[in-house]
Amino acid sequence: MKAAVKYLSAILMILATIFLRHSIADDRKAPVIAPWYEGKPAAVSLRFDDSMESHVTHAIPRLNQYELKATFMINPGTGRYMKNKDFWEKHVPAMGHQMGNHTMHHRGAKTPVEADFEIGEVSRLIWKLYPNKGRLLVFASGGGGKKWGGKEWEHASEEYKSMVEKYKLIDLYDGSHPGFGVGSKRGYKEINARVQTAVQKGEHVPIVFHSIGKPGWKERIASIYRGYDLALPIEEFDQLVQLLGQMKDQLWVAPLADVLKYETERNQSRVSLVSRNKGSIVVLLQVGTDPSLYDQELTIILPVDPGMKAVSVSQGATQAIRFHNNDRKILMNVAPVSGEININLDKVPSKEYFRNVQ
């Protein structure tokens, strides 16, 4: 009896081992949506508030030097914006940077009608400047204090909050989008540590800047009450952009709206293998977001047999999808639209590859 039980246990262990091996192999063959674009381990977004002079004179030239794209939260009705109006509107979009809605005058609004102007005019301007981008924009209420009908933005009435839906905005102050603000008390050392942690944990770090360099007189006065200022020294900013430039293999550095769109699309989409033909694989992408608003490309990772490579990738009527052949996997950057994706291969996939494909 004992011998029989021992024999049966051994058989069960062998069967379990075979099952686990097949399960692991199947999991390795399943396509997935990459946590971040291009399969990068982590994401960083650089957000600059208030249309500062130092953004024009220092931040943007340094970002361009390292080919880093950022988000600039603009106040088009302020003197500091008007001083560099041509630069903001003619050059910044062409450089690949994006703009966010920070209200016209950075002072809130006393009435819903005024709020509609303060918020709506900025959205209309940005839509005009970026005709080929989706209409979804990031929004930060600006102004501080009880500026929205006598209340903080977080507690403003529905008449004010309805502007978020009306103008297709991602409200950065809704409690679910914390930013990593920098300045005299949180400089390069702290930013570097936060970025390294993000790489380890696969996170997104939204870094928020105000001025770059020495603080102006208004900021110096405000810092007396706060105990710190919001200006980041030029030397520390230069260290940061150099760091991000060196870590491009590990970081997706992109405008804030693109990162938030990707995150939402990724969380509301799924991908699966559906069929094969000689020398090709078909993957089905099912997306739960509205592509007219959420237009950030998704990266799909498709594991393949050793030595197998993609020759071309198509999605619907689009015949030239960008892709990369990496070690035993293919990375494809596809539009966030439901439908089939066809991958033409240089070899016929093995039967084992599709063993459990329905």
pLDDT at 20: 32
Least confident of 87-96, 194-203, 259-268, 309-318: 309-318
Number of domains in the chain: 2
pLDDT at 280: 86
Output the six-digit token pair for 67. 């080919």
Residue 178 lies in a domain: yes
DSSP-based helix, strand, coil % in the chain, nearest 5: 40, 25, 35
Beta-strand pair 71-74/98-101: parallel
Does residue 286 have a pLDDT over 60?
A: yes
The structure's pTM equals 0.87
Output the six-digit token pair for 86. 């041509």
3-state secondary structure of 147: coil
Residue 9 lies in a domain: no
Of 231, 262, 293, the residue that ends a domain is 262
pLDDT at 336: 97
118 and 240 assigned to the same domain:
yes
Q: What is the span of the domain harbouring residue 289?
A: 268-354
- Cβ-based neighbour number of residue 292 at 10 Å: 10
Residue 230 lies in a domain: yes
245 and 325 assigned to the same domain:
no
324 and 236 assigned to the same domain:
no
243 and 273 assigned to the same domain:
no
- 8 Å CB contact between 284 and 272: yes
Residue 278 lies in a domain: yes
282 and 222 assigned to the same domain:
no
14-42 pLDDT, tens per residue?
A: 343 333 333 333 444 689 999 999 999 99
53 and 196 assigned to the same domain:
yes
253 and 272 assigned to the same domain:
no
Phi-psi region of 202 (alpha: psi -120 to 50; beta: other; left: phi over 0): left
159 and 254 assigned to the same domain:
yes
How many percent of the chain have pLDDT more than 90?
74
pLDDT at 26: 42
Output the six-digit token pair for 131. 């005709």
207-243 pLDDT, tens per residue?
A: 999 999 865 655 454 444 444 457 899 999 999 999 9
Residue 300 lies in a domain: yes
151 and 257 assigned to the same domain:
yes
179 and 274 assigned to the same domain:
no
Of 238, 262, 286, the residue that ends a domain is 262
3-state secondary structure of 106: coil
318 and 251 assigned to the same domain:
no
How many percent of the chain have pLDDT more than 70?
84
pLDDT at 218: 57
111-138 pLDDT, tens per residue?
A: 999 999 999 999 999 999 999 999 999 9
Residue 25 lies in a domain: no
Tokens 């069960």 locate to 12
3-state secondary structure of 12: helix
292 and 242 assigned to the same domain:
no
pLDDT at 71: 98
DSSP 89: I
Does residue 81 have a pLDDT over 80?
A: yes
Residue 17 lies in a domain: no
Output the six-digit token pair for 6. 């021992």
pLDDT at 5: 40
